[in-house]
Amino acid sequence: MRTSHLLMAVALLAVAGCADANQSNTGGSVQGEMVECSYPPDGEPAKAVDPPSTTASNTGEVTATVHLTAGDVTITMDRAQAPCNINSFVSLAQQGYFDNTECHRLTDFGIFVLQCGDPTATGTGGPGYTIVDEVTRDLTYPAGTVAMAKRPSPNTAGSQFFLVYADTDLPPEYTVLGTMDQAGTDVVGGIAAQGVDGFDKTSPIAEAKITSVTLG
């Protein structure tokens, strides 16, 4: 059974206790302005999708707009910071993987994030491969951050990502994709302001559906 990509306080504490404080990883092997990435297979994809190219650029910026039913969230991503993860995100967006998917998890105590990117909306779905963690010891997660969710063990990110709508204290173990514009941060904050579903204790009350993701 695939483990849920958790962003729960207990799981984070467990991961933090096992982390190497000196760990630093910025992706695959560098070839000039390109990086060689590895995307190991990881079960069946939640939605039919091809793996990304194993060669990724590590220069320039990428702009992606996540079109939520509540409003648009524009994300600016610096390829130099996380080339392999950004390469995967762009590939998934181009293939329509995120289209018509629900942001399935909202946290509003201690950790302030809206988690998206799982077509099954269960927290267990992924693209059928994993991605290396591209992290440094000084990573922080202030409001506006967009980062990759993962299972508790290293290098287990896939397609799920989270949008930070208020400053959040997390260990530096989640690859940062980029930052939201202020308008997008406000959109996510507005979803969060309506609270968490009282029945399942995880999903947002407000509709938080990604209709599409556009690039450029």
In 127-195, beta strands by DSSP E: 134-135, 145-148, 161-164, 176-180
pLDDT of amino acid 123 = 96
**Helix (H/G/I), strand (E/B), else coil: 191:** helix
Fold of 9-19+27-215: Cyclophilin (2.40.100)
For every residue of 143-161, DSSP letters joined together read TTEEEE---SSSS-B-S-E
Task: Compute the half-sphere exposure of residue 11: CA atoms within 13 Å on the CB side of its CA.
Answer: 13
135 closest CA partner among 60, 85, 75? 85
**Helix (H/G/I), strand (E/B), else coil: 92:** helix
pLDDT of amino acid 20 = 34
pLDDT of amino acid 18 = 31
Mean pLDDT by runs of 10 across the 216 residues of the chain is 47 32 49 89 98 98 98 98 98 98 97 98 97 98 98 97 98 98 98 95 96 97
| pTM (whole model) above 0.85 | yes
pLDDT of amino acid 15 = 29
* Residue 63 CB coordination number (10 Å): 13
For the chain, what are the domain ranges?
A: 9-19+27-215
